Amino acid sequence: MRIDILSALPRLLDSYFNESILRRAQQKGLAEVHVHDLRDFSEDKHRRVDDYPFGGGAGMVMSVQPIHKAITALKSERHYDEVIYMSPDGELLDQPLVNRMSSLRNIIILCGHYKGVDERVREHLVTREVSIGDYVLSGGELPAAVLSDALIRLLPGVLGDETSALSDSFQDGLVAPPAYTRPEQYGDWQVPGVLLSGHEARIHEWRLQQSLERTRQRRPGMLKDEK
């Protein structure tokens, strides 16, 4: 999967994509992330990417021109499956949406800033709008990183243990069971005995019961959704 991110503040994204799992995924050639500075595409002599809103009011609006030029340049190089605008009023991101999108090959993610982008960008250039939740952030960079991370960790070979992503919360319609590591006893805090028993079937059953119980407590809607 190749992800091209368009941002007015590209440095915000550097550290996130250059550490840990996301870096390894890129080093292994499983994912490519390219962050582009929208200012590089601005035809304004001060490299501006925003302007005052027509009709007045507070806040700046991101202009069509740099965004259009950046998207056109990328599209001249390869086909893109989606041009995604991160937006608080977009489709809410959840695991089923991430799963569906994880089979895409090339995507562009546009990060807004200020009051957002000129509506004509959304009408004519964007093919999908995604929100990471019903709250407003100051820019689309964190949302773009959230979406990219959720997608990349699903790509085959990215997580060391191939089954690991499948046992995460939401993947089987349940939240994850509790996990423990050494030591067996930390002060008075004990690891549940069944996990130390070596009895695979009992461990499996215990985890399933814990997942069900937690889902009932924390995400009852997920159980009701099941037909």
Binding residues for ligand SAH, per CB under 6 A? 86-89, 111-113, 115-116, 131-133, 135-137, 139-140, 143
When the beta carbons of 90 and 173 are compared against ligand SAH, the nearer one is 90
Compute the least distance from the CB of residue 224 to ligand SAH, in Å: 26
Which tokens belong to 191?
């690891």
When the beta carbons of 23 and 115 are compared against ligand SAH, the nearer one is 115
Asked if 71 contacts 97 with a C-beta cutoff of 8 angstroms, the reply is no
Which residue spans within the chain are E strands per DSSP?
A: 2-7, 32-37, 50-51, 61-62, 82-92, 106-110, 128-131, 185-186, 189-190
Compute the least distance from the CB of residue 174 to ligand SAH, in Å: 26
Q: Is 50 helix (H, G, I), strand (E, B) or coil?
A: strand
Compute the least distance from the CB of residue 141 to ligand SAH, in Å: 8
DSSP label at 185? E
Smallest CA-to-CA distance from 4 within 138, 13, 212 is with 13
Compute the least distance from the CB of residue 150 to ligand SAH, in Å: 13
Which tokens belong to 220?
């009852």
Q: Which residue is nearest to ligand SAH (CB)?
A: 112
Question: Taking CA 144 as the corner, what is the angle to CA 29 and CA 177, rounded to the nearest 5 degrees?
Answer: 80
When the beta carbons of 18 and 138 are compared against ligand SAH, the nearer one is 138
Continuous segment of H or E residues that includes residue 112: none
When the beta carbons of 143 and 177 are compared against ligand SAH, the nearer one is 143
When the beta carbons of 107 and 132 are compared against ligand SAH, the nearer one is 132
Compute the least distance from the CB of residue 142 to ligand SAH, in Å: 8
